[in-house]
Chain A
Amino acid sequence: MASSNKKINKKDIGKLLNEWSQEFTVFVPSRETGTATMAKWDGKDTSFLDWYRNTVVSPKANILPPMEEMFHFQKDKEGYHIELPPLDGHKQLIFGIRPCDANALAILDMTFNDSYEDPYYLSKRNNTILIGLGCTNPYDSCFCTSLGSSPTDATNVDLMLTDIGDEFLIEAITDKGKELMANISLAEEATEADEAKAKEAREAAYNKVTRQLDIKNIDEKLLASFDNQDYWEKIAAKCISCGICTLLCPTCYCFDINDELLKGQGARFRSLDSCSFPVYTKMPMENPRLEKWRRVRNKVCHKYEFYPMNFDVIACTGCGRCIRLCPVNWDITQTLDIVPAKA
């Protein structure tokens, strides 16, 4: 079965990306802006192969950007005219997406491609090719293996690359991926020895994920503990209600909509919002989540209780950003470890 996969030398990645640039806008991990993001391929820099573990800003930003114009409107003698942004979506290719972030996009799809099909999201999503890159060096904050995934999980990418030393093993996962793989000029057929190396690499990576979380019956436990104010107050005590964990989470999708008006014209924008902020639920007379523990509870339960209720999947992929980037080291795995079994 080894014959169906291919391999490419790491030195040829630059050429491969240039090949793909003919057809797609290619995004690669970059620290050009001052923090690790997926940025437009500059045509030469492949240094990310040395430093890249994961980005700070998740590739969610390529599909659900932090801010996005929904439409522009203008007034003239005849009235208002609404102009939609082009929604055909340019073809983009994200190179090096980690399995956790690719899985997260599949989770976002459930919301944006539900009974309401979100045109802004889907126009980008349907025009995006994901080239997965298996992790060889997961962070100590990563816990993907506890969520049924692994650092080399290829489920939700089009093409999967696995590090086998000087080369990457290439597996085509989807039809789009197969088409792409067939056209890679620099790829060679993978041998059985390559497959064996890949298997070894997958196992090694799996075992490097040391953080464990027991998710058995977690939704039921959370449901039972919903009114356990003591527990939630204790859990929330050190949270500072900033938006780091939510805004950078690859599965958080809440957004806010605002109109910006100029004389005779304006635009409607949507931008990411966070349930950590007290204003998130502020209404004219009342704020149902004014207390911090209610907001923390919502964040945890949305991922581990409500999403499973609605879509039968936990809305967390174990990427560990919320742990790694939290300025007070609030740790969701610790939180879930001590959910009381019964209220």
Chain B
Amino acid sequence: MKQDLEWEPRLVGFLCKWCSYAGADLAGTSRKKYPANIRVIRVPCSGRVDPLFILKALRLGFDGVLVSGCHPGDCHYQTGNYYARRRIAITKKFLEYIGIDPERIQASWVSASEGGKFAEVVTAVAKGLKEVGPNKLFADERREHRTKTTK
């Protein structure tokens, strides 16, 4: 139980350059508090996020993935976030079918002026992931064995 209390989920955030990344920036400059569980990767558009990125993050052992872009209608490239929406919808459903908790795949619309919302989203996602628990889906027996024996 002790371990459960200490464990903190690790989350990758793919944030669109024009809205969500700026939103995250604003959260910082306006001193909004949000958990440090997120590692941010800036992408030109949420439409740039291939579901491959999401899977790769899970394969590497991250506990969850957040894709965040501009609100519908606000995409810098007009339509990128609409494509992202479709892709994430099918990815989430499909991964659920295979046995991956859909909570691990998250999406949000955060504009450049929504620093507060960004902090709220990260807080909520981190809380949700804490309930889902650590991602041991792709646990590599070999590597775990190594880390144990080499200590």
Q: Do A and B come from one complex?
A: yes
A262 to B145, CA, bound (A): 13
- The reply on A127 being an interface residue by CB < 8 A is no
- The reply on B150 being an interface residue by CB < 8 A is yes
| Interface pair B143/A262, CB less than 8 Å apart | yes
- The reply on B56 being an interface residue by CB < 8 A is no
Return chain A residues, CB-CB under 8 Å to B143.
262
Return chain A residues, CB-CB under 8 Å to B150.
74, 265
- The reply on A124 being an interface residue by CB < 8 A is no
- The reply on B146 being an interface residue by CB < 8 A is yes
Return chain B residues, CB-CB under 8 Å to A265.
146, 150
Number of A-B contacts (CB under 8 A): 7
- The reply on A72 being an interface residue by CB < 8 A is yes
B11 to chain A, nearest CB (A): 19
B22 to chain A, nearest CB (A): 32
Contact with A along B111-151 (1 / 0, CB 8 A): 00000000000000000000000000000001100100010
A69 to B142, CA, bound (A): 10
Return chain B residues, CB-CB under 8 Å to A69.
142
A74 to B149, CA, bound (A): 12
CB-CB contacts below 8 Å: B21-67 with A: none
CB-CB contacts below 8 Å: B90-104 with A: none
A265 to B142, CA, bound (A): 13
Contact with B along A253-294 (1 / 0, CB 8 A): 000000000100101000000000000000000000000000
CB-CB contacts below 8 Å: A73-129 with B: 74
Of all chain A residues, the one with the shortest Cβ separation from B143 is A262
Return chain B residues, CB-CB under 8 Å to A72.
146
B145 to chain A, nearest CB (A): 11
Return chain A residues, CB-CB under 8 Å to B146.
72, 265
Return chain B residues, CB-CB under 8 Å to A262.
143
A115 to chain B, nearest CB (A): 33
A74 to B142, CA, bound (A): 15
Return chain B residues, CB-CB under 8 Å to A74.
150
B20 to chain A, nearest CB (A): 29
Return chain A residues, CB-CB under 8 Å to B142.
69, 267
Of all chain A residues, the one with the shortest Cβ separation from B150 is A74
Contact with A along B69-83 (1 / 0, CB 8 A): 000000000000000
A69 to B146, CA, bound (A): 13
A192 to B95, CA, bound (A): 65
Listed A/B pairs (7) with beta-carbon separation below 8 Å: A69-B142, A72-B146, A74-B150, A262-B143, A265-B146, A265-B150, A267-B142
Residue numbers of B with Cβ under 8 A of A are: 142-143, 146, 150
